[in-house]
Structure 1
């Protein structure tokens, strides 16, 4: 463990019992699920209201609602660390100024390299098939601030849970990084298993998502803040949701939409390219983040 990471997990050492972590995860899930479950028990709405909501909750608005649905998860983490571990949620982030700097560096590296890759692709590569405009530019720009805010909420919730709460508490209890880095990353990937939408590509998506979690865990261990992991995650999702998105409920904010291959053999080259890009971005960010 680096000295910075030792300082980062120090608050978690005060109450490191595993039963607290398990109960904390249950508490987070319950607080996250309650608002979603409550929707099922709402009384029948007038037909005019239902028709209005059906027309409203499509495209960009539907994506924003999905991103905003992670707000209760943030509340759940705050309640869990205060109630079960007697510490503030700010301790999950680490020192504020270094965390903010780490966030900007990592997000900047990812967005910068993605911009360079896009320019090179437009010069040397033929136009990619299956990509089409999703939103008019003026509409996309109007939704962009809300989209960025929604992504910060969604990625912030996941980072607080997996690289903040889980990684901190497991590192306070176990010395081996195989436990405090690998277990949260495996769980993070497994929760993205979605065969209904991803079909035969589900396990490939789980693998890449788990890799993102592992790289984020390494950046957290290196820097002793949540900023770098959050920056990596937020920039990655911004590229995937705001610029070239996949069709579906999460594609409503994309400037463009790209039809994704439906079979695993067709998907593997794209995912290998994503993995290679992530490793380059991680290596560059890791070097820049040296204390």
Structure 2
């Protein structure tokens, strides 16, 4: 069982509290280069600026890199925390399998990437007036280089933090699966509350973010590992960054298209969560033979007998 992997190592809950604080410090340190760049350019504090304003102060690709560098720093600190504070190998916070299944990572990546590309092209063909062709070869090539390297670090940080570190830590504390699933999904969605999309489209968009958290959490629990979630999250963010940008999105990039429509949150928020996401889970369930949904999503998390015996002795 994936969550029970943590029982094999140092799983005292105080370690997770300290580890979370250290990761937060790592993220703050990761923001320093962006703050320095903005200060040198304009002498303004980064806290006073929106991401759109940052893009106007600095080159958009450079700003994109510096924003993602924050997540890369957080990932580095998190992996050190897992290794040094919990004495836990990265493999065991990634999967319960004997080794990481990269085939699953690529399947999750390819599934959402193909879907996003197809849907974007359909939207462009149906409503071309909502898009500008934003493609510029040199800036786009630079964006591709940055995105391929940095976006997987950004998405891996979020996955290792929520579906890995927090899910295992909460699971060993409460000894069940449904509490970690709910808490990590809601917290993951809440992390996006200050995104410019929420300001533009209203709080209804939070259904999408929290729903995405549940999707990734269900993938992890049903598959007893994070590989599908790691690939899916990276594929989603990478294709989004390369295909479409807008003045009101968190990532404003040198993408192929620019959405100039007036964004509203309505049925387009509910369809992915209640129709598309269940379809993704159905495809994965068929491919990987998922079963025993009730136990894997709501069952107890038991400490392995071998660990119990060693502790008693």
TM-score between the two structures when normalised by the length of structure 2: 0.76
Q: Would the alpha carbon gap of residues 38 and 131 (structure 1) be closer, same or farther in structure 2, given more than 3 Å must change?
A: closer
8 A Cα contact 1:31 1:72, kept in partner: yes
Shift of 1:113: 2.9
Cα distance in structure 2, aligned partners of 1:186 and 1:28 = 19
Which has the larger displacement, 203-212 or 24-33? 203-212
Shift of 1:177: 2.4
Cα distance in structure 1, aligned partners of 2:186 and 2:102 = 26
Q: Would the alpha carbon gap of residues 200 and 259 (structure 1) be closer, same or farther in structure 2, given more than 3 Å must change?
A: same
Aligned residue number for residue 274 of structure 1: 272
Aligned residue number for residue 165 of structure 1: 165
Gaps spanning 5+ residues in structure 2: where? 43-53, 291-313
SS in 2 for 1:77: helix
The ranges of structure 1 where at least 4 consecutive aligned residues each deviate by more than 4 angstroms after the TM superposition are: 37-42, 44-47, 53-56, 95-98, 118-122
Aligned residue number for residue 102 of structure 1: 104
Shift of 1:68: 2.2
Shift of 1:129: 3.2
Cα distance in structure 1, aligned partners of 2:246 and 2:4 = 37
SS in 1 for 2:206: helix
8 A Cα contact 2:130 2:260, kept in partner: yes
Shift of 1:40: 5.3
Q: Would the alpha carbon gap of residues 142 and 82 (structure 1) be closer, same or farther in structure 2, given more than 3 Å must change?
A: closer
Aligned residue number for residue 59 of structure 1: 60
8 A Cα contact 2:31 2:69, kept in partner: no
Cα distance in structure 2, aligned partners of 1:19 and 1:173 = 10
Q: How does 1:88-237 map to 2 (within 5 A)?
A: 88-94=89-95, 95=97, 97-118=99-120, 126-137=126-137, 139-194=139-194, 198-199=198-199, 201-237=201-237
- Count of paired positions: 276
Which has the larger displacement, 244-253 or 183-192? 244-253
Shift of 1:242: 1.2
Cα distance in structure 2, aligned partners of 1:27 and 1:271 = 35
Shift of 1:41: 7.5
Gaps spanning 5+ residues in structure 1: where? 1-5, 48-52
Shift of 1:165: 0.7
8 A Cα contact 1:212 1:233, kept in partner: no
Q: Does 1:19 align with 2:14?
A: yes
Aligned residue number for residue 300 of structure 2: none
Aligned residue number for residue 70 of structure 1: 71
Give the CA RMSD over aligned residues.
3.1
Aligned residue number for residue 82 of structure 2: 81
Aligned residue number for residue 30 of structure 1: 25
TM-score between the two structures when normalised by the length of structure 1: 0.81
Aligned residue number for residue 51 of structure 2: none
